[in-house]
Amino acid sequence: MVFQPLCIIFEDYVIYCLLKSKLLFLFLFLCTSRIIAKEGMWLPFLLERLNEKEMQSMGMKIKAKDIYDINSGSLKDAVVIFGGGCTGEVISEQGLVLTNHHCGYGTVQGLSSVGQNYLSNGFFAPNQQGELPCPGLSVTFIIRIEDVTLGVKAGITEDMADSVRTKKINENILAIEKQYKSSTGYDASIKSFYADNTYYLFLTEKFTDIRLVAFPPNGIGKFGGDTDNWAWPRHTGDFGVFRIYASQDNKPAAYSASNRPFKPRRSLKINISGFKEIDFTMVYGFPGRTQEYLTASGVQEVMEVLDPIRIKLRHKRLDIIGSAMSND
């Protein structure tokens, strides 16, 4: 699993990007400004030091600790990694998780059969007993993020060969991950940021007893296909609802009929009163990757070398496909 930097983008218009995410251990913020457009990439645990005052000046009514706090429930405890890298939101004190329709698609496909096609017909559990277990599906919570750059770079010198440097860094990473996992009991994973200049440790907790609660049929959940996916306003019921189950002591556990709905440290409330055009907007999630911090030469390489190659290759592929279609 890959973690990427948290993104906070301040725009001079409102961007609503509900639940759109791809992979990884990283958070995305999209914020609005009525003055000028600003943008940046940020991690949640840096907000209090770097961004809180500016975000509040733009209309944010909460504190940075309401977003990320390791000592009490915060938004980080309600925004989860769903499956392999989608974003999900805990929306009840009984472990309900909301995510995108496509994020649950493969799981629901696996639960379907010729006689009971949940993709075509949808699924809505009448009660908790009717919820369907989802083998292989997981929901992961961020417990804590720490800067471990000094430890990862311990013993590294400028005159090291690249292969030696890489080997030493990997050894340091494995040792630190093992130490944290042993001392905390949580999963530990270190990821590099900013072209391998900074390393952050992510402590996480993964739940694997996940059950399907509600899933609209394709005619609603996939209405408009990719065309509608990139348009606003959207006309798609793009959602799926699942529930996290835990052991009797509220810890991760394999599926068991005796497991109970997970009680989160924090859950989100849905505001049914709507919004105004100038309202502050923030979306917290897990984007797949970013090129936010490319150097000028890096941007030039993308524009003048990499993208032209991709375009030529795609044209060749499309020509081959088009020729085959014409002859069919």
Q: What is the DSSP letter of 131?
A: P
pLDDT at 41: 66
Position 289 pLDDT exceeds 90: no
Q: pLDDT-based confidence at 35, cuts 50/70/90?
A: very low
Give bridge partners of residue 82 from the DSSP assignment. 86, 139
pLDDT at 38: 54
Q: What is the DSSP letter of 303?
A: I
pLDDT at 270: 83
Q: Measured between alpha carbons, how far is 328 from 319 in angstroms, rounded to an integer?
A: 14
Q: What angle do CA 124, 126, 127 make, to 5 degrees?
A: 120
Q: pLDDT-based confidence at 233, cuts 50/70/90?
A: confident
Whole-prediction pTM value?
Answer: 0.81
Q: Is residue 208 within 8 Å of 252, Cβ to Cβ?
A: yes
Q: Measured between alpha carbons, how far is 50 from 182 in angstroms, rounded to an integer?
A: 32
Domain ranges of the chain: 1-73+269-293, 141-205, 297-328
Q: What is the mean pLDDT of residues 132-159?
A: 97
State pLDDT tens for residues 250-260.
Answer: 999 999 999 99
DSSP states of 214-259: EE--HHHHTTTHHHHHTSSS------EEEEEEE-TTS------TT-
Position 162 pLDDT exceeds 70: yes
For residue 288, give the nearest of 62, 161, 103 by alpha carbon: 103
pLDDT at 30: 35
Position 25 pLDDT exceeds 60: no
For residue 83, give the nearest of 21, 129, 145 by alpha carbon: 21
Q: What is the mean pLDDT of residues 272-291?
A: 82
Q: Is residue 13 within 8 Å of 37, Cβ to Cβ?
A: no
pLDDT at 40: 60
Least confident among 52-66, 158-172, 207-221: 52-66
Residue 3 vs residue 255, higher pLDDT: 255
For residue 102, give the nearest of 37, 21, 180, 179 by alpha carbon: 21
State pLDDT tens for residues 190-227.
Answer: 999 888 899 999 999 999 999 999 999 999 999 988 88
Per the rule left: phi > 0, alpha: psi between -120 and 50, beta: everything else, 125 is: beta
What's the distance, Cα to Cα, between the start and end of the chain in Å?
41
Distance of CA 80 to the CA centre of its chain: 7
Give bridge partners of residue 298 from the DSSP assignment. none
pLDDT at 67: 95
pLDDT at 280: 84
